[in-house]
Amino acid sequence: MTYNFDGKLLKFDQKKIPLLDIVLDFFRMNSISEIFKNLNNDEIYKKLYTLEKTKKFSDEYKKLIKVIEVELGTGDFYFQKIPSFRVHRVKGNSVNYHNDCMYGHGEDVVNIWVPLINTNEHNTLHLADNYLSKKEVKRFGTEKLSLIQANKLFKSITSPRLVNYGEILLFNTSAIHGTEINNSNEDRISFDFRILAHGGDPSTKQLNDFYLNNKSEERLIKKIPCMYYLNKKNPLMKNCSHSIQREIMNTYASLNNFSPEGKEESEIHGTSHYPVIFHYIEEEKNKNILMASILCLPSDQKLRKQVLILAKNNGVNLHFSLENKISKNLSIESVDAFYESILVSEIII
């Protein structure tokens, strides 16, 4: 199921969902303009994302999700875990023209935009309809336009959408939107979030990382347990710190729904063999072992072959994060050829 919105406005009860009051109380200020007068943008963002972690804000956020439920006629959808806050200062800009598909969101996703003031044509969001948006985004790619050219093109198809506090704007991720220089005398704070119907395409955003399931926690995809294996002994890995290796594996794990659950081991230094990787394949039999690269395997060809054969015989999958490969899908010969080609390249360089 997918949802199709083209700049629709919904209303919510400000007394039942007092978002502005909560923000002002948290900042200990009397108005949005006072917040901007006393704090710079970085300070405002920092406090807003601190507020987001509070139960008080979380409760109101969930109430807003209920408003969306009523509009959709169902609660069977995902919603963004952490809403994105935006500040639009007088004489400043907020975001350039774009659509969210350009930044990794699926076309089935819907944007929800919530300003905390009554907006005007200078400090509001400018939005294009879905048809024109898709047409001009295609042109952007076909003609290989620069970001400056694209911004000018996209701006030409949008118009300001005046949204008051107590209203929310819904539009699809394919729709071009952006902001202009705020030539009014009113600063703006807003936040936005995204929803996705079950079965919809989140594109590059992982469901468990980016979204919460609104209907049932049981329907969230369960993480697959794994172990992280760190190794700096081998050529080209010696300057790849454990923290860097960990980040590479974190990205792979996120994209492939793995969770190490605190299980991490590093290879022992000062020896010519690799006792850690052999132990966790043969004795512990961790079904999925993640490592940063194929180059984390033993540099000695015979030992490398033994590791790969042992993994296969014990039903252990070795995941090579950087190369996005799994040992069960690779031949020993292909691993050797890749490994040796890297060693040769290092000598040439």
Provide the 8-state DSSP code for 145. -
Q: Residue 75, CB half-sphere, CA atoms under 13 Å: how many? A: 13
Q: Tell me phi and psi for residue 3, to 5 degrees.
A: -110, 145
C-alpha–C-alpha distance, residues 2 and 13, integer Å: 27
For the beta carbon of residue 31, count every other beta carbon within 10 angstroms: 13
> Is 343 exposed, middle or buried, given 0-12, 13-18 or 19+ CB atoms closer than 10 A?
middle
d(CA 316, CA 281): 7
The 8-class DSSP code of residue 268 comes to P
- To the question of pTM greater than 0.85 for the whole model, the response is no
Which pLDDT value is given to residue 271? 81
Q: Which two tokens stand for residue 292?
A: 């940063």
pLDDT of residue 1: 63
Average pLDDT, the chain: 92
Q: DSSP assignment, residue 299?
A: S
Dihedral, 307, 313, 316, 318 alpha carbons, nearest 10: 40
- φ, ψ (nearest 5 deg) of residue 174: -75, -15
Across 138-176, b (16+ Cβ under 10 Å) vs e yields eebeeeebeeeebeebbeebbebbebebbbbbbbbbbbb
The pLDDT value given to residue 218: 43
CATH architecture of 6-219: Sandwich (2.60)
Q: Return the structure tokens found at 155.
A: 């701006």
Q: How far apart are CA 28 and CA 6, in angstroms?
A: 37
Centroid of chain to Cα 184: 33
* pLDDT, tens only, 177-193: 999 999 999 999 999 99
CATH ID of 224-348, from 3.30.70.660, 3.30.70.120, 3.40.50.720, 3.40.50.1390:
3.40.50.1390
Each domain of the chain, given as residue ranges in start order, spans 6-219, 224-348
CA-CA distance, 155 to 97, in Å (whole number)? 6
* Kind of pairing between the strands at 188-197 and 177-178: unpaired
pLDDT digits (tens, 9 = 90+) for 73-117: 988 899 999 999 999 999 999 999 999 999 889 999 999 999 999
- Residue 79's beta-bridge partner residues? 195, 212
Q: What pLDDT shows up at residue 205?
A: 80
Sites in the chain below the pLDDT cut of 50: 217-219
Secondary structure (3-state) at 201 = coil
Instruction: Please count the other Cβ atoms lying within 10 Å of the Cβ belonging to residue 348.
Output: 5
Instruction: Check residue 269 and give its pLDDT.
Output: 80
Closest CA to 155 of 130, 174, 134, 136: 136
- Nearest Cα residue to 87 out of 77, 79, 95, 75: 95
Q: Which residues fall within 8 angstroms of residue 211, CB to CB, at 6 or more apart?
A: 78, 79, 80, 81, 194, 196, 202, 205
Measured CA distances, 36 to 62, 166, 212 (Å): 27, 21, 32
Q: What is the pLDDT of residue 221?
A: 58
